[in-house]
Amino acid sequence: MNRRFLRQALPFLTLAVVLAATFYVQPRTMSYFGLNLMLQYAVPIALATIAQMFIITVNDLDLSIGPFVGLVSCIGATLLLDNPLLGILALLVLIATYGAVGALIHIRNLPSIVVTLGLSFVWLGIAVLILPSPGGKAPVWLKALMGVQTPWVPFPIIAAIVIGVVVHLALMLSSYGVIARGAGGNPKALTRAGWSMLNTKVIMYMLAGFFGVLSGLALLGLTTSGDAHVADRYTLYSIAGVILGGGEFIGGRVSPLGAVVGALTLALAGSFLIFLKISPDWQIGAQGAILIIVLALRALVSYGEHKR
């Protein structure tokens, strides 16, 4: 078996192992209801991970996605509920802002880490202004969508597959996707071939904003009330999800299916650790350990894949 294949299969194998371990520790989770309960929060995490992946594709990093998802949940629980038209408009403005930030970063050649760091304060500030304390209510249709009972296969699994496949088709198989990934691989070559780096970056940032909005709405459908701080951990989850899924920080090497699988693994690992009855003190530590083990395996697999 060649290493390249093994490397791409690793995220899926990891998920299978974590899933098997969870079933072993708590056999009752091996049911429609159990899977639904364990994986429902994987949907917004997967969407945020995809958003982060678009930014990583063009060699940037988004440190603001967590607070952004929180802001969307606040807008969804207030404006979108009271005045749907205005709510949708606000969300569109947010996506446009993401695009503008992409343009600013490209034109002034700014470090994305710092700009998005600043941006994270802005999102959090707006969210706190809208909802100083958790509150509001999720629109009924959103709750219904996230609580839908699909036959045979639980909704979160179907949603994850749909998200992964759609983005995979768009980014990995379409000709525009090749250009987008090329923007991360070799921006100079792309510019010389006559493509606009500015356009590419703006589009990728707007896609990230779009998926960030989807993530916030999905999360709101589950939590049913808005909270500025609800998704603070998503920034780290999304970065870890992309990397767990086989993506790399530079060179446009990303994998949408892998990213979704990485997000599922992270969400599942949380439940698994609770079933293991590890002391709450070590819950976060155990998540760190899982990350390290998976990445160590990847290092083992790709060792010698390409000599440096």
Partner 1 sequence: MIGKLLRQPWVFSFGAAIAVWLATIAYTGGQGAGAILTAAFSFATFTIIVGLGQMMVITTGPGNVDLSIPATITLSGVVAMKVMDEDTGRMVIGIIAALGAATLVGVFNYGLIRLLRIPPIIATLSSSFLVLSAAISYGRGIRIKPPEPLAQFAETQVFGIPIMAFAVLALSIALAMVLSRTVYGRSVLAVGQNSRAAWLAGLNVDRTRFLTYVLSALLAGVCGILLSGFSRGAALNMGEEFLLASIATVVIGGTSVAGGRANVPGIWGAALFMYLLVTMLNTFGASAGIRLILTGLMIIGVIVAAGGEEQR
- Please say whether the beta carbons of 227 and 134 come within 8 A: yes
144 versus 250: smaller Cβ distance to partner 1: 250
Q: Minimum Å distance from CB 175 to partner 1?
A: 27
Q: Which of the residues 265 through 284 are near partner 1 (CB under 8 A)?
A: 279, 281-284
- Applying CB under 8 A, the span of 2-10, 120-128, 201-209, 260-268 interacting with partner 1 comes to 120-128
- Applying CB under 8 A, the span of 136-144, 167-175, 213-221, 290-298 interacting with partner 1 comes to 290-298
| Residue among 93, 129, 161, 189 that touches partner 1 (CB under 8 A) | 129
Q: Minimum Å distance from CB 306 to partner 1?
A: 12
Q: How far apart are the first and last CA of the chain?
A: 22
- Please say whether the beta carbons of 249 and 59 come within 8 A: yes
Site for partner 1 contains 108 (CB under 8 A): yes
- Please say whether the beta carbons of 42 and 268 come within 8 A: yes
Q: What is the DSSP letter of 305?
A: T
| DSSP per position, 145-179 | HHT---SSS-HHHHHHHHHHHHHHIIIIISHHHHH
Site for partner 1 contains 218 (CB under 8 A): no
Site for partner 1 contains 287 (CB under 8 A): yes
Give which of 35, 241, 255, 244 is closest to 152, Cα–Cα: 35
| Residue among 15, 207, 239, 301 that touches partner 1 (CB under 8 A) | 239
Site for partner 1 contains 122 (CB under 8 A): yes
Euclidean distance between CA atoms 152 and 162, whole angstroms: 16
Site for partner 1 contains 198 (CB under 8 A): no
- Please say whether the beta carbons of 264 and 15 come within 8 A: yes
Residue 9's Cβ-count burial label (10 Å; 0-12, 13-18, 19+) is middle
Greatest alpha-carbon span in the chain: 58
Q: Which of the residues 60 through 79 are near partner 1 (CB under 8 A)?
A: 61
Q: Minimum Å distance from CB 279 to partner 1?
A: 7
Positions that interact with partner 1 (CB under 8 A) = 61, 104, 108-111, 113-115, 117-129, 132, 236, 239-240, 243, 248-250, 279, 281-289, 291-292, 295-296, 299
